[in-house]
Amino acid sequence: MRTYVIQRLVIFVPVLFLVSVLIFVPLRILPGDPAMVILSGGGNVDVDPQDLARLRRELGLDFPLHQQYFTWIQDVLTLNLGTSLVSRKAVNGEIARSLPVSLELASLSTVFALLVALPVGILSAVRQDTWIDYVARSISIAGMAFPSFWIGTLVVVALVMLFKWIPPVVYATPAESLEDNLTHMIWPALVLGYQASAPLARMTRSALLDVRREDYVRTAWAKGLGERLVITRHMLKNALLPVIALSGVQIGRLLGGTVIMESIFVLPGLGRRLIEAVELRDFPMIQAIVLISAVAFMLINFLVDLVQVWLDPRVRLQ
């Protein structure tokens, strides 16, 4: 186990290096000059070439690319994510408020996803080819088919039409006000959770159907055990392994995929920050957010793999 952990951690290094290059280079190649965007107020104003040259110097954009890259990497290694070109503030500070928002949203969404996916998947598998199965599968497919921005907008419009109410538009952390925080978060979490539950429910169903055919399950039935006991004690634990693996992927996707929900529900998360940074070509902010997302994705999947190793003795013995 220790060797496995070390091997996995060592692989992080070249992967992160590759990610850093893949973030840095395309950004510089993409058309669009951050100094020009800032000076033009998003396109409102003509830009004086002298002002442009001065701002590019101030922002360090006139240094050679390799120098900019090495400066950035040096800073990252000391956990300094740089200075935003737009706000001129440390990126660390700007992200410090946004990261917990996205983490909370991703976590809540995952919880909802699992709360929906597991019962639906189990029901679907146990009542295979009945109307319950068909309804459950239709709901799952709808979750995968409908785009999240559509569902999110529909939720907001429906709330205001039916109740003349929408969730708060000013974010409060749980420490500031747990009630406001949950009132704000629950809606985007439900939308994202529903979307994330769809593939999880289908995976749960497939895995249970596979496990159902195993000898030990037949033995359990033959011994006269009740349905609930067979499902929970024998089938579910084995069927959950691929579901756990998929959950890891889903959490990673959720971390990066909350952009639309954050815009619709006015959450100051990483996704929204990323979109704003891309629109303004705020290179340090974009690099930081993408790097953090990559690290988070790798860590989550690593943890999920560890959990699997720990849960399944067969994997451990391998």
Partner 1 sequence: MTTITRRYKVSWLAAVLSLTLLVSACAPAPSPTSTATLPPSAGAAAPSATPTPIATPTRTPLATVATPAATPAHPPIVAQEQPARGGIVRFVSSDDASTLDIHRSTFQILYEGFGNAYNGILRYDPIQVDKVVPDLAERWEVSPDGRTYTFFFRRDIKWHDGVPFTAADAKMSVERMLEFAPKKGNIATVQKVEAPDDFTLKVTLSRPTPSFIKGIALGVMAIGPKHIFDKKGNLEDNLIGTGPFTIASYNRGESLNLVRNRDYFKKGLPYLDGAQWLIIPDFSTRVAAFKAGRVDVFGANVTLLPSQAEAIRRDVPDAQVLPKESLEASFLVFNVNRKPWDDTRVRKAAFLAISRQDSIKTLDEGAGRVGLETFLAEFAFPEEELLKVPGIRLDKQRDRQDARKLLEEAGFPKGFKSTITVIGGHRFLEPLAIFLKDQMTTVGIELALDPLDVPTFIKRRADRQFDTMALFGTIDFLDPDAALKTLNPKGQFNTLNDEKLMALFDQQSVITDPVKRREIIFELQRRSLEVVPHVMVNWVIRRQMAAARVRNFVPGIGNFSQLGAVEQVWLAPR
Q: Residues in the site for partner 1, rule: CB under 8 A?
A: 30-34, 36-47, 51, 86-89, 93-94, 96-97, 100-101, 103-104, 107-108, 111, 153, 156-157, 159-161, 164-166, 168-171, 173-176, 181, 237, 263-266, 268, 272-273, 275-276, 279-281, 307, 310-311, 313
Least Å distance, CB 194 to partner 1, is 19
Task: Kindly tell me which of 205 and 272 has the beta carbon lying closer to partner 1.
Answer: 272
Write the burial class of residue 203 (CB in 10 Å: 0-12 exposed, 13-18 middle, 19+ buried): buried
Q: How far is the CB of 128 from partner 1 (least distance, A)?
A: 25
- The nearer residue to partner 1, 73 or 115, going by C-beta atoms, is 115
- 248: CB partners within 8 A, 6+ apart: 300, 301, 303, 304, 305
Nearer to partner 1, 33 or 210 (CB): 33
Q: How far is the CB of 142 from partner 1 (least distance, A)?
A: 21
Instruction: Identify which of residues 93 and 226 has a Cβ nearer to partner 1 in the complex.
Output: 93
CA distance 196 to 108: 11
CB 207 → partner 1: shortest distance, Å?
Answer: 16
Nearer to partner 1, 136 or 148 (CB): 148
Residues recorded for the chain = 318
Nearest approach in angstroms of CB 14 to partner 1 is 27
Task: Output the smallest distance, CB 173 to partner 1, in A.
Answer: 5
- Closer of 136 and 195 to partner 1 (Cβ): 195
C-beta closer to partner 1: residue 185 or 294 = 185
User: In the bound complex, what is the minimum distance in angstroms from residue 138's beta carbon to partner 1?
Assistant: 27
